[in-house]
Chains A and B, each alone.
Chain A
Amino acid sequence: MKHHCQRFSQQPITRRAMLSQAAVGFGGLALAGLMNTPAFGRSVASKAPPLNSGVLPASHFPARAKSCIFLYMDGGPSQVDTFDYKPLLHEHNGKSPYEVMDRVEPTQFDDIGTVLQSPWKFKQHGESGAWVSDLFPHVAECVDDIAFIKSMTSAFSIHTAANYFLHTGHGIQGRPSMGSWFEYGLGSENQDLPGFIVLNGGLIPPGGLDNFNAGFLPARHQGTVLKGGEQLVANIAPREGSDTAQRAKLDLVQSLDQALIQQVGGADALESAVANYETAYRMQTAVPELGDISGESAETRSLYGLDHGNEGTRTFGRNCLLARRLVERGVRFIELTCPGGAGDRWDQHGDLEGGHGRNSLNVDQPIAALLKDLKRRGMLDETLVVWGGEFGRTPFAQGGNGRDHNPFGFTMWMAGGGVKGGTSIGTTDAFGYKVVDQKCEIHDLHATMLYLMGVDHERLTYRFSGRDIRLTDVYGNVLHDLIA
């Protein structure tokens, strides 16, 4: 078929398909047939009917959580100023870290100053008596629902690589984001919305949208970024005069796409495009309905801080409220990014007090509201809430009043969905610098999150470049101490 535009030639066959067909031909076909039999290790189709469009016919374990909300603290909040209380910093404030600490690692900016005490006071809260600084007065009220991981480590101390590592389990660009893995495995309970949604507070993390990429997984599992504010998706209102007209147009596009799919065989790019057109069509109704919070009571709005004087609180509060609404609608994985606005991300190389203060003001009340609201609605025990950044910060100053990146020990926390509230695992040294007990890796975090969602991280795989690849690669241990 010649196109009217002579320079456009249809791609008759993909490069990969060409190579594989030319190289193995009929022998390859026979082998493929063989490999599809149970004797060659292919899993026998389970008797259970498939689970909501996900690849797993049934979850591996009974799921403790149906949905996951990842409160992504972009930039790396300081553990010693939030949840990891270290009184020794106060005692040694102003001293050289080389004198009081065992071994000081080089940092990103290598501008190591003196030991820096936390400008915030710590208090014990709840029945569990967890220490929380004054940065998080609202979250402090929820500590009995929270399990802290105080011994988190990362393999990278620069934002981009650490962000990829946190999101995809790899420090390099191009791997599937954890949200994509969740949706790939478990599907979504809502066919009108994407199963992996990013609620953009304003700050897209270093590394960009590749943090939410589907990588080698089918493209339809890619995270869908919703803008904050009133209109969640640009151009969501159809431009066509009637639904019939739009439907006719989409049907035509789909028939053309289907013809091409027939011609080249199941190409992911095409199939996902078709799927995405259909999801987008349904989102025209689902998204405005999602964003319409007029039905929420005044108490709920003020709980989330929608009437707060600080714009960042309003933004993040609205996104937390939307996250809850998304969970109610069966969306599998929701990630919230931090509000932009005047301040920087949680990346205070200078002015720790001002920058962390602004960031916590943005998120503290909304996060506590989210936890409380989920709880009173009976949703917290089936919703996994994860809080944390890509790394922590040094207990000593960078220059005068900031802190540099620290991947050797930092705090993350989980709440809800099967998590044992009021617990804490792992410890850092007396300065909150490096992990000394129960070291946890990002892979452990991923394995635990998957476990709580009913998935065995060793059995959720995708064959890519000749290997069955997992979110946790060849690592990862479920943190059973955190699980109720």
Chain B
Amino acid sequence: MALPTPISRWLAVVFVALAAVLLVAAAPDALAQGADAAGSVAEGADATAASDGAAAEAKPVDAPGWLAFLGRFHVVVLHLPIGILIVAFILEFFGMFRRSRGYDIATSWTLVLGFFTAAVAIAFGLFLEETTKPGVYDALTMDWHKWLGIAMGGLAFFAAVLKIAAIRKQWGEGDQRRPGGAPLALARLSILGVAILLPVVGHLGGNMTHGANKLVEKAPFDVPPAAMAAIYFPLDAPGASTGGGGGGAGGETHAAGTVEAQWVNEVQPIMDTHCVQCHGASKQNAGLRLDALEEVMRGSEYGPVVVQGSAEESRLYQVVCLPPEDDYFMPPGKAGLSLEEMRTVARWLIASVDLGKAPAGGTADGGGDPETPVGPAYDLEAYARLNELGGRAQVVSEGSDLLVLSFANHRGPIPEEAFAAIEALADHVQNLDFSNSGVTDADLDRLPDMPALERLYLKDTEITDEGIANLPELFSLSYLNLFGSNVTDASIDNLSMLVVPGKDGPGSIYLSETGVTLEGVQQLRDALGDGVEVVFDDSVGLLDTPGPDAGADGPTVPVNTVCPVSGTAVDPAHTVTYEGRVIGFCCPNCKAKFEEDATPFLANLPQ
């Protein structure tokens, strides 16, 4: 379970403060001055955390700033306590058999240092958890890692305190022998505990960042299942125990004939073989897990991977069909799915439109979100802030978590904070309207990935080709309005990859009154096909309009099949009516030549 934000923050502060107090208390006279400095560092950290508190409390996830920044240093700092505490253990262990009092001094110092670095690592770890989207790390592993880590830190603290107490008591009383007795025994027990927990915590952390498989995947022998289970500990999610693709015979049962059953019986084994290694319990690249249906439906951090009822639109299918050399090909560097496996996946995706529907009489679970969220899922603070910043945010409709964000008619630059607000709402943005606003090319570079974004309005703005190139990947974009912007034909390639067909109709791009030419538009139309409509002056009848009556009736099929100017095949899109006959051309250039002077070409026309 995740700790409530304030508690987690306080824990971190308490650990650092404890560490500092201990340092000061334990410091021999020679180091007293240095300890003061350490104390003030700790106070500084305390103050930073507290001042961050007010601002950061509002946006617990993905907050930029100090917390996120420090959180990333967890993986750097954690190596210190590991090394130092192991040294403390070794010193204490060998010290048991030696007479020198130097061992006592050395162990107490390494313990203090070990605890201090552990406290910092724990604090940073808590920051990291707090500023990372849920789902990026396996929640169960994270819980164990966190609590065992904190327990270990606590033990190190006890060990240090007890050790120092034992030394001070004995030597303070003038007894110059090495200390002993109950406090020391307890201290040694604690050190033993630290030594046992240390590798476990470290291993769990490794599992989270690298995936459990990585540890033994190069083993030159078969890892026995029992050992494998130990390595996976404490992961007990479905795909984990199946390792090499045994098929999910897990606890979940589904009524035969449901889409859920089809997943378990047909698709999950394929996932287990090809995908789960990187998208499973132990490792979640892109935040995606493919080891259980609920996980698949949850999608990746870039958005859903399944479009129910359509294989072609589902990311899950798209990436396995790509050519192996493609950047997005899955699984990268492997042979990929067989044709039959691809078909199985596709069949299931098409059938997935019935997900959650029970066959007659049966009940089916799964598919739906297990937790019913209370209140809106989006960040209300960011929502309100956007309205304060001169934009408008509103939900698409009641009960929806999707949002319409608008800076339409906002003259002058879009405030910097607006982009932080947009980022906080990124997963929920369906419409983003910058029409007639001061949005700049650089602003578009600040936009976060918005997996749900369907409509983007850049109408009547100063956006250029650079802005288009700056746009993040927007997998659902089906409406892009660039009317009156400064884009040119140079954007055609980018545009052809930006817009996809809509959920219930073709997608659309608007390019009138831009630098884009009719040739560019035609090139774009060729690239996009029927799924996306390119709206330009010609498509609303504002170019080459032959008057209100002419277009309505009369033949439009050319009388010729070969272009009279070039001699190549006719494109019916380029025609001219000459002496009552419709003449076709291969391209607009030939048409222009013909219109200039028709006589040289008349002989080439059929009589």
Partner-B contacts on A (CB < 8 A) = 46-49, 51-52, 56-63, 123-125, 137-138, 140-141, 189-190, 297, 299, 303, 328-330, 372, 375-378, 381, 454, 484
Stretch at the interface among B11-19, B380-388, B568-576: B380-388
Distance (whole angstroms) from the CB of A285 to the closest CB of chain B? 12
Please, which residues of chain B bring their CB within 8 A of the CB of A63?
396-397
| Given A57-B398, A63-B397, A140-B548, CB of A49 within 8 Å of CB of B383 | yes
**In the bound complex, what is the Cα–Cα distance between A381 and B540 (angstroms)?**
13
**In the bound complex, what is the Cα–Cα distance between A125 and B479 (angstroms)?**
28
CB-based contact B535/A376 at 8 Å? yes
**In the bound complex, what is the Cα–Cα distance between A344 and B110 (angstroms)?**
100
Distance (whole angstroms) from the CB of B384 to the closest CB of chain A? 7
Q: Is B607 an interface residue (CB 8 A)?
A: no
Known: A60-B398, A189-B392; 8 extra A-B contacts, CB below 8 A, are A49-B384, A52-B394, A59-B398, A61-B397, A125-B552, A376-B537, A378-B535, A381-B508
CB-based contact B535/A58 at 8 Å? no
Q: Closest B residue to A372 by CB, please name it.
A: B540
Distance (whole angstroms) from the CB of A77 to the closest CB of chain B? 19
The tally of CB-CB contacts under 8 A between chains A and B is: 97
Please, which residues of chain A bring their CB within 8 A of the CB of B539?
376
CB-based contact B541/A372 at 8 Å? yes
| Given A59-B397, A60-B397, CB of A123 within 8 Å of CB of B552 | yes
Distance (whole angstroms) from the CB of A292 to the closest CB of chain B? 14
**In the bound complex, what is the Cα–Cα distance between A57 and B383 (angstroms)?**
14
Please, which residues of chain A bring their CB within 8 A of the CB of B436?
328
Q: Closest A residue to B402 by CB, please name it.
A: A62
**In the bound complex, what is the Cα–Cα distance between A49 and B394 (angstroms)?**
7
| Given A58-B394, A376-B510, A454-B397, CB of A141 within 8 Å of CB of B551 | yes
Please, which residues of chain A bring their CB within 8 A of the CB of B459?
377-378
Please, which residues of chain B bring their CB within 8 A of the CB of A62?
396-397, 400
CB-based contact A378/B457 at 8 Å? yes
Distance (whole angstroms) from the CB of B155 to the closest CB of chain A? 45
**In the bound complex, what is the Cα–Cα distance between A124 and B551 (angstroms)?**
11
- Mask for B397-408, Cβ within 8 A of A = 1, else 0? 111100000101
Q: Can you show 15 pairs from A to B with CB atoms below 8 A apart?
A: A46-B398, A48-B394, A49-B393, A61-B397, A62-B396, A63-B396, A123-B552, A141-B548, A297-B513, A376-B483, A376-B537, A377-B483, A378-B459, A378-B510, A378-B535
| Given A48-B376, A48-B398, A62-B400, CB of A330 within 8 Å of CB of B408 | yes
CB-based contact A51/B394 at 8 Å? yes
Q: Is B606 an interface residue (CB 8 A)?
A: no
CB-based contact B548/A138 at 8 Å? yes
Q: Closest A residue to B549 by CB, please name it.
A: A137
| Given A47-B376, A48-B395, A377-B512, CB of A329 within 8 Å of CB of B537 | no
CB-based contact B505/A49 at 8 Å? no
**In the bound complex, what is the Cα–Cα distance between A299 and B545 (angstroms)?**
13
Distance (whole angstroms) from the CB of B344 to the closest CB of chain A? 35
CB-based contact A378/B483 at 8 Å? yes
**In the bound complex, what is the Cα–Cα distance between A155 and B67 (angstroms)?**
68
Q: Is B409 an interface residue (CB 8 A)?
A: yes
CB-based contact B481/A378 at 8 Å? yes
Partner-A contacts on B (CB < 8 A) = 375-376, 380, 383-384, 387, 392-400, 406, 408-409, 435-436, 457, 459, 479, 481, 483-484, 504-505, 508, 510, 512-513, 535-537, 539-542, 548-549, 551-553
Please, which residues of chain A bring their CB within 8 A of the CB of B553?
123-124
CB-based contact A376/B512 at 8 Å? yes
Q: Which of A125, A299, A376 counts the most B-chain CB atoms under 10 A from its CB?
A: A376
Q: Which of A57, A58, A63, A124 counts the most B-chain CB atoms under 10 A from its CB?
A: A58
Distance (whole angstroms) from the CB of A207 to the closest CB of chain B? 34
Among A48, A330, A484, the residue within 8 A (CB) of B505 is: A484
Q: Closest A residue to B393 by CB, please name it.
A: A49
**In the bound complex, what is the Cα–Cα distance between A56 and B396 (angstroms)?**
12
CB-based contact A189/B537 at 8 Å? no
CB-based contact B548/A58 at 8 Å? no
Distance (whole angstroms) from the CB of B382 to the closest CB of chain A? 11
| Given A63-B397, A141-B551, A372-B541, CB of A377 within 8 Å of CB of B510 | yes
Please, which residues of chain B bring their CB within 8 A of the CB of A123?
552-553
**In the bound complex, what is the Cα–Cα distance between A375 and B376 (angstroms)?**
34
Please, which residues of chain A bring their CB within 8 A of the CB of B551?
141
Q: Which of B398, B399, B436 counts the most A-chain CB atoms under 10 A from its CB?
A: B398
**In the bound complex, what is the Cα–Cα distance between A383 and B481 (angstroms)?**
15
CB-based contact A137/B548 at 8 Å? yes
Q: Closest B residue to A61 by CB, please name it.
A: B397
Q: Closest A residue to B509 by CB, please name it.
A: A378
Please, which residues of chain B bring their CB within 8 A of the CB of A138?
548
Please, which residues of chain A bring their CB within 8 A of the CB of B536?
376
Please, which residues of chain A bring their CB within 8 A of the CB of B513?
297, 376
**In the bound complex, what is the Cα–Cα distance between A366 and B387 (angstroms)?**
36
| Given A375-B535, A376-B542, A377-B512, CB of A328 within 8 Å of CB of B435 | yes
Q: Closest B residue to A123 by CB, please name it.
A: B552
**In the bound complex, what is the Cα–Cα distance between A381 and B459 (angstroms)?**
14
CB-based contact A49/B408 at 8 Å? no
**In the bound complex, what is the Cα–Cα distance between A189 and B436 (angstroms)?**
14
Please, which residues of chain B bring their CB within 8 A of the CB of A57?
398
Please, which residues of chain B bring their CB within 8 A of the CB of A141?
541, 548, 551
| Given A123-B553, A125-B552, A189-B392, CB of A58 within 8 Å of CB of B408 | no
Please, which residues of chain A bring their CB within 8 A of the CB of B376?
47-48
**In the bound complex, what is the Cα–Cα distance between A190 and B510 (angstroms)?**
24
**In the bound complex, what is the Cα–Cα distance between A53 and B179 (angstroms)?**
76
Please, which residues of chain A bring their CB within 8 A of the CB of B549?
137
Q: Return the 4 tightest CB-CB contacts between A and B, nearest first.
A: A378-B510, A137-B548, A378-B481, A58-B398
| Given A330-B408, A484-B505, CB of A376 within 8 Å of CB of B540 | yes
Please, which residues of chain B bring their CB within 8 A of the CB of A61?
397
**In the bound complex, what is the Cα–Cα distance between A383 and B161 (angstroms)?**
73
Among B387, B397, B409, B535, the residue within 8 A (CB) of A49 is: B387
Q: Closest A residue to B398 by CB, please name it.
A: A58
